[in-house]
Amino acid sequence: MREDQDLAAVQREHWQQTYGTHPGMYGARPSDAAVHAAAIFRAAGAGNVLELGAGHGRDALYFARSGFTVLAADFSPVGLDQLREAATAEGLAGRVATAVHDVRDPLPLGDARVDAVFAHMLLCMALSTGEIHALVAEVRRVLRPGGTFVYTVRHTGDAHYGAGTGHGDDIWEHGGFAVHFFPPDLVDALADGWSPAEVHPFEEGGLPRRLWRVTQSLPR
């Protein structure tokens, strides 16, 4: 088994344990990135949203409250169990579906099936550069023409870049969490064939984490 496969398995188990030990760990309030994305998606006329790396669902629930139908995907069954429970409690179960899915595999959707895709800090998990490119190609496949992709990633200007345990390919593990820190040229490469990417720098959390919010759309 390759080292990156070992790392993927370790990270999957780490997230399972983390969600189990800290239910609803990110709280009920949506991320600022999701609030921004909902406005972008609404302006584009989107009706449904695929969220990748949905976790326990704070952003998926916000999209559902905002009138979208949502498919929330994550590799953690524990996190998605918490999401379904919250959706039922809020009367949103009819607007939220879930899928246990590892984004290293092809997305479980047909071509041109969704209006919008959202991924908050999913692309900067312990994915190789090749896996990230493959995932964005899958996002392109499942989006309808004119569909919008909003994602956020930690970047090489973050305080944790170069700290902790290095796994190569700009992946550094700190506190048990492995992160692929994005250089600018990776964002540029992922936007090839899309509309020009809009890149917005922002900060989140107590470190703070330094991120880019990237918005790009498919040509109609």
In one-letter notation, the amino acid at residue 156 is: T
What is the structure's pLDDT at 2? 41
What is the structure's pLDDT at 1? 32
pLDDT digits (tens, 9 = 90+) for 167-185: 999 999 988 889 999 999 9
| Least confident segment among 11-15, 92-96, 136-140, 207-211 | 11-15
pLDDT digits (tens, 9 = 90+) for 134-180: 999 999 999 999 999 999 999 999 999 999 999 999 999 988 889 99
pLDDT digits (tens, 9 = 90+) for 188-197: 999 999 999 9
Instruction: List, in order, residues 6 or more apart from 200 with CB less than 8 Å away.
Output: 212, 213, 214, 215
Mean pLDDT of 9-20: 68
Buried b (16+ CB within 10 A) or exposed e, 161-173: beeeeebeebbbb
User: Is residue 108 over pLDDT 90?
Assistant: yes
Task: Quote the percentage of the chain above a pLDDT of 70.
Answer: 91
Helices vs. strands in the chain: H and E counts, helices first = 6, 10
User: Is residue 96 over pLDDT 60?
Assistant: yes
pLDDT digits (tens, 9 = 90+) for 35-58: 999 999 999 999 999 999 999 999
Q: Taking the C-alpha atoms of 137, 12, 180 and 115 in order, what is their torsion angle to the nearest 10 degrees?
A: 30
DSSP 118: E
pTM for this one? 0.90
The Cα 132–Cα 151 span in angstroms is 12
> What's the distance, Cα to Cα, between the start and end of the chain in Å?
42
User: Is residue 72 over pLDDT 70?
Assistant: yes
Mean pLDDT of 54-65: 96
The widest CA-to-CA distance across the chain, in whole angstroms, is 45
Alpha helices, H only, the chain: 3-21, 32-43, 58-65, 77-89, 129-142, 184-190
Question: Do 208 and 184 touch, CB atoms closer than 8 A?
Answer: no
**Residue whose C-alpha is closest to residue 214's, from 130, 132, 142:** 132
Q: Give the residue extent of every domain in the chain.
A: 3-217
Q: Which fold would CATH assign to domain 3-217?
A: Rossmann fold (3.40.50)
Helix axes 32-43, 58-65, angle to 10 degrees: 30
Question: Do 60 and 119 touch, CB atoms closer than 8 A?
Answer: no
Work out the number of other CB atoms within 10 angstroms of the CB of residue 27: 9
- The alpha carbon of residue 137 and the mean position of all alpha carbons in its chain are separated, in whole angstroms, by 15
